[in-house]
């Protein structure tokens, strides 16, 4: 999916919501456990209930990898189901990969070729040759970690040399490798006020913003400091939506939670003159 197509979807659905499929067998409703593939059945129900309200889904690969071969199968079934039934939805592999070029090529092939993901999260620490193999697929995206939502972000990302912080260096340097048409950045919603500085370095790029919901980030603040004329945001919520209810009505409640965010997003885009 290219930049314009993503923007069109955002306008059409009046939404820049990404639902995180961080699916944990220990947290899903008990009645699903009798199914052959409870994780897939859970995801399918969440997707069917929310697809009209979202522009992206983000399965976090850790939640599948930890189950071995069975987990990979649940992941593959989930993403194939979404691509087949909701081909307009942007798919993010939240895998946080990145290695020497030869190895990154294999990671890229796994997620962008052998599975129908549109994008993958990548860690920038190993530099250019660890990132560029992910950029060689047409209409596929790298989502580079810039300023993360967690406490540990302060350990390295704010390291400063002269005027420039490390995450600012990541934003600046990586623009030599990719463009706003194939690279996005992760910026945590818990650090929303930093978005105005980030917009000075990357005014047009899409930003994936996790941390709304369970981590306490504010959608209003994210939009205030981070929204641009093309919206430029994909805001993720995982636990706040998918585990809002643990009864057989879980999908319905997930839809209500997604709808609340979508309606807020529509108002924010309207106020910005995007819709
Ligand atoms: O890359 C990410 O998506 C990510 C980056 C970051 O800085 N913080 C962050 O929470 N995430 C992911 O976003 C999701 C947030 O989940 P919830 O806190 O449940 O909404 C998880 O899958 C995290 O791994």
ipTM of the complex: 0.99
Distance 187 CA to ligand 1 centre (A): 10
What is the fold of 3-272?
TIM Barrel (3.20.20)
Confidence of residue 209 (pLDDT cuts 50, 70, 90): very high
Across the range 60-69, mean pLDDT stands at 98
Cβ(43) – ligand 1 distance below 6 Å = no
| pLDDT per residue as tens digits for the range 110-158 | 999 999 999 999 999 999 999 999 999 999 999 999 999 999 999 999 9
Which of 97, 210, 213, 217 maximizes ligand 1 atoms within 8 Å of its Cβ, making it the mutation to test the pocket? Answer: 210
Q: What is the 3-state secondary structure (H, E, C) of 124-185?
A: CCCCHHHHHHHHCCCCCEEEEEEECCCCCHHHHCCCEECCEEHHHHHHHHHHHCCCCCCEEE
Cβ(121) – ligand 1 distance below 6 Å = yes
Which of 17, 20, 217 maximizes ligand 1 atoms within 8 Å of its Cβ, making it the mutation to test the pocket? Answer: 20
Looking at ligand 1, which atom is closest to the CA of residue 60?
22
Q: Is 96 a known active-site residue?
A: yes
Confidence of residue 68 (pLDDT cuts 50, 70, 90): very high
251: Cβ–Cβ under 8 A, 6 or more apart, which residues?
A: 45, 46, 48, 49
Residue extents of the structural domains in the chain: 3-272
Cβ(239) – ligand 1 distance below 6 Å = yes
Distance 73 CA to ligand 1 centre (A): 22
Confidence of residue 204 (pLDDT cuts 50, 70, 90): very high
Catalytic residue among 44, 67, 96, 105: 96
């Amino acid at each position: 999916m290219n930049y314009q197509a993503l923007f069109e979807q955002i306008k059409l659905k009046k939404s820049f919501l990404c639902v995180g499929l961080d699916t944990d067998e220990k947290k899903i409703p008990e009645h699903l456990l009798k199914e052959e593939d409870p994780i897939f059945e859970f995801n399918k129900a969440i997707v069917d209930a929310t697809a009209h309200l979202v522009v992206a889904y983000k399965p976090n690969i850790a939640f599948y990898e930890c189950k071995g071969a069975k987990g990979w199968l649940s992941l593959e079934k989930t993403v194939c189901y979404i691509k087949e039934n909701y081909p307009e939805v942007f798919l993010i592999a939240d895998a946080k990969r990145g290695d020497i070029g030869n190895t990154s090529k294999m990671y890229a092939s796994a997620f962008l070729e052998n599975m129908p993901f549109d994008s993958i999260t990548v860690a920038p620490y190993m530099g250019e040759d660890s990132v560029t193999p992910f950029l060689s697929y047409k209409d596929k995206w790298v989502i580079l970690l810039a300023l993360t939502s967690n406490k540990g972000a302060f350990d390295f990302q704010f390291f400063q040399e002269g005027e420039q912080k490390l995450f600012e260096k990541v934003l600046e340097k990586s623009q030599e490798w990719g463009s706003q048409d194939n690279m996005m950045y992760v910026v945590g919603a818990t650090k929303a006020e930093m978005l105005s500085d980030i917009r000075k370095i990357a005014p047009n790029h899409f930003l994936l913003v996790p941390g709304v919901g369970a981590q306490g980030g504010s959608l209003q603040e994210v939009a205030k400091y981070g929204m641009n004329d093309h919206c430029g945001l994909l805001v993720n919520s995982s636990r706040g939506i998918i585990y809002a209810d643990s009864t057989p009505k879980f999908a319905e409640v997930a839809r209500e939670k997604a709808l609340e965010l979508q309606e807020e997003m529509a108002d924010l885009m309207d106020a910005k003159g995007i819709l």
